[in-house]
């Protein structure tokens, strides 16, 4: 089967990582899978023309609205993977919700990363319940072997001679839904009393206007640094060498960064939202904070209580091994892809 796979590939975000991984699964079944960026298409007619010209037999998409709107009127079978913001945010917009409902009607199957995402979709579109499969994201980490941690810190603007720094790494694309500025003021205030702590925000510039706000804010903050995106293997190495990985998103489907941190034996501090609660159990596989003051409080605990840190890392590693196996994920997509034949 020749399959077209549409996903948000630029800038590099979690959806791209997921798409590349699933694309490999599809190709391992001896199918041809062409991965294309949703941003390359302005209308459904462009996608229809591509399908006809390249003789694609089926389509797979990530993101019910962004990808789905390009399949309206499509004559080939397709499957949909919920992205997160489609079900958590776009669903609040009546026009977008109408488009998504039309896409659901004709889809062969739907994939939700969590039970919560499935429940939300079922609430709005009860008819689609039997087509929704829950498949948590699989985890694959490959830290760069030649990564130089000290050089990375220096290039980030951090000089830490004669001190043992505590590096908190916030990995996200610079856009409002990721809320990278949520913790900046509280962290900067904490830095005044604890000079060993640093917060590095690392990721691609997704929203140009918002990126300028982030840069301006970080420039005046103490102990907070902004670093541009890195190749995935370098990013995994930076995560591995950090004291903790942070998530401050307003909304998440399922954060691949949190799962990768768990796999890399790095403790996670995550904002207490439904998508994060689905994979982080407070004081078991990570720490969940409601507001910046709680983040600082829990960060201090993590620094002072080595037993807590070790326990969290151990339980989180066990959790991802049991519930986020890439082998299980691969078999699910192999089975679902067969429904497109």
Q: Looking at the chain, list the stretches that DSSP marks H as alpha helix, in order from N- to C-terminal side.
A: 14-27, 44-54, 85-88, 94-106, 115-124, 149-156, 184-193, 208-219, 232-241, 256-263, 274-277, 292-304, 306-323, 326-337
pLDDT in tens, 135-180: 999 998 999 999 999 999 999 999 877 778 999 999 999 999 999 9
pLDDT of residue 15: 78
- 10 Å CB burial of residue 147 (0-12, 13-18, 19+) is middle
Gap between the Cα atoms of 209 and 190, Å rounded:
28
Sorted by where each begins, the domain ranges of the chain are 2-138+325-340, 149-323
Query: Would you give the DSSP letter of residue 146?
Result: T
- The answer to whether 218 and 201 are in contact (CB under 8 A) is yes
Does 149-323 match 2-138+325-340 at the fold level? Answer: yes
- The answer to whether 38 and 229 are in contact (CB under 8 A) is no
Identify the architecture of domain 2-138+325-340 in CATH. Answer: 3-Layer(aba) Sandwich (3.40)
pLDDT in tens, 14-35: 778 889 999 999 999 889 999 9
CATH for 149-323, options being 3.40.50.300, 3.40.50.2000, 3.40.50.720, 3.50.50.60: 3.40.50.2000
Query: Would you give the DSSP letter of residue 228?
Result: -
Does the pLDDT of residue 305 top 90, yes or no? yes
Total-model pTM: 0.88
Average pLDDT of span 318-335: 94
Question: Which residues, in sequence order, are CB contacts of 228 under 8 Å at separation 6+?
Answer: 202, 204, 205
Gap between the Cα atoms of 159 and 223, Å rounded:
11
Question: Which residues, in sequence order, are CB contacts of 140 under 8 Å at separation 6+?
Answer: 21, 326
Residue (of 136, 9, 133) closest to 63 by Cα position: 9
């Amino acid at each position: 089967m020749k399959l077209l796979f549409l996903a948000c590939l630029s800038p590099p975000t979690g959806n791209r990582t997921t798409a590349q991984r699933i694309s490999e699964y599809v190709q391992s079944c001896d199918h041809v899978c062409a991965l294309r960026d949703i941003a390359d298409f302005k209308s459904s007619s462009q996608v229809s023309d591509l399908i006809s010209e390249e003789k694609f037999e089926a389509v797979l998409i990530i993101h019910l609205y962004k990808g789905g709107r390009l399949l309206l009127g499509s004559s080939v079978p397709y499957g949909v993977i919920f992205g997160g913001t489609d079900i958590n945010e776009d669903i609040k917009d009546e026009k977008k919700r109408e488009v998504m409902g039309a896409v659901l009607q004709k889809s062969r199957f739907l994939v939700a990363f969590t039970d919560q995402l499935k429940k939300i979709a079922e609430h709005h579109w009860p008819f689609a319940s039997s087509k929704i499969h829950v498949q948590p994201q699989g985890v694959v980490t490959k830290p760069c072997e030649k990564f130089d941690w000290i050089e990375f810190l220096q290039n980030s603007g951090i000089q830490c001679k004669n001190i043992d720094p505590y590096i908190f790494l916030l990995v996200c694309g610079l856009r409002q839904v990721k809320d990278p500025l949520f913790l900046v003021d509280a962290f900067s205030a904490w830095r005044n009393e604890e000079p060993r702590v640093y917060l590095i925000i690392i990721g691609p510039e997704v929203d140009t206007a918002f990126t300028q706000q982030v840069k301006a804010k970080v420039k005046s903050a103490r102990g907070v640094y902004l670093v541009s995106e890195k190749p995935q293997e370098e990013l995994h190495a930076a995560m591995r060498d950090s004291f903790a990985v942070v998530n401050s998103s307003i909304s998440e489907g399922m954060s691949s960064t949190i799962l990768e941190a768990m796999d890399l034996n790095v403790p996670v501090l995550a904002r207490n939202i439904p998508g994060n609660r689905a994979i982080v159990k407070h004081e078991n596989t990570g720490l969940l904070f409601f507001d910046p003051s709680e983040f600082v409080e829990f960060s201090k605990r993590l620094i002072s209580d080595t037993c807590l840190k070790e326990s969290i890392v151990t339980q989180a590693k066990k959790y991802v091994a049991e519930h986020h196996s890439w082998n299980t994920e691969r078999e699910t997509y192999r089975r679902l892809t067969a429904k497109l034949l």
